Amino acid sequence: MSVGAFHPRWFMHYAHQDAAESVQGFRDLGAKVMIPFHWGAFRLGDEPEGYPAIHVKLNFPGAKIADCGEVIKL
Tell me the three state secondary structure of residue 33: coil
Domain containing residue 30: 1-74
**Structural element, H or E, at residue 10:** helix 9-12
3-state secondary structure of 62: coil
pTM for this structure? 0.77
**What pLDDT was estimated at residue 72?**
80
Tens digit of each residue's pLDDT (9 = 90 or more) over 18-72: 888 988 998 999 988 888 887 777 778 888 888 888 888 888 888 888 877 788 8
Contact 12, 6 (CB under 8 A): yes
Q: How many domains does the chain have?
A: 1
Contact yes or no for 46/7 (Cβ under 8 A): yes
End-to-end CA distance of the chain: give it in Å, rounded.
15
